[in-house]
């Protein structure tokens, strides 16, 4: 991960849901300065989506290819 330990915080909250099953929630917080360094801070133009998302088939193909064995 490109963030130093003091720039990122991960929290986990656990509890019992209304259906009686256990649930867990993650919260990830990153220091704004770390986001700026990567061009990801909401105030930076590089953090704004500027075009349409790829089509659904593109995502499905990428997931299939990620599961393939690189050795053949």
Domain layout of the chain by residue ranges? 5-67
Residue pair 16/23 in contact by the 8 Å Cβ criterion: yes
In the prediction, which pLDDT does 70 show? 65
Nearest to 33 by CA among 52, 67, 8, 65: 8
> Which of 21-25, 32-36, 40-44 reaches the highest mean pLDDT?
21-25
In the prediction, which pLDDT does 14 show? 93
Nearest to 39 by CA among 52, 29, 48, 27: 48
Residue pair 47/40 in contact by the 8 Å Cβ criterion: yes
Average pLDDT over residues 10-26: 91
pTM above 0.75, yes or no: no
| Contacts for 46 with CB less than 8 Å, ≥ 6 apart | 39, 40
In the prediction, which pLDDT does 27 show? 92
């Amino acid at each position: 991960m490109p963030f130093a330990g003091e720039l990122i915080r991960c929290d986990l909250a656990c509890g019992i849901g209304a259906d009686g099953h256990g649930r867990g929630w993650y919260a990830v917080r990153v220091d704004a300065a770390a986001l700026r360094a990567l061009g990801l801070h909401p105030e930076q133009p590089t953090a704004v989506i500027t075009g349409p998302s790829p089509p659904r088939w593109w995502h499905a193909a990428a997931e299939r290819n990620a599961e393939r064995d690189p050795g053949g």
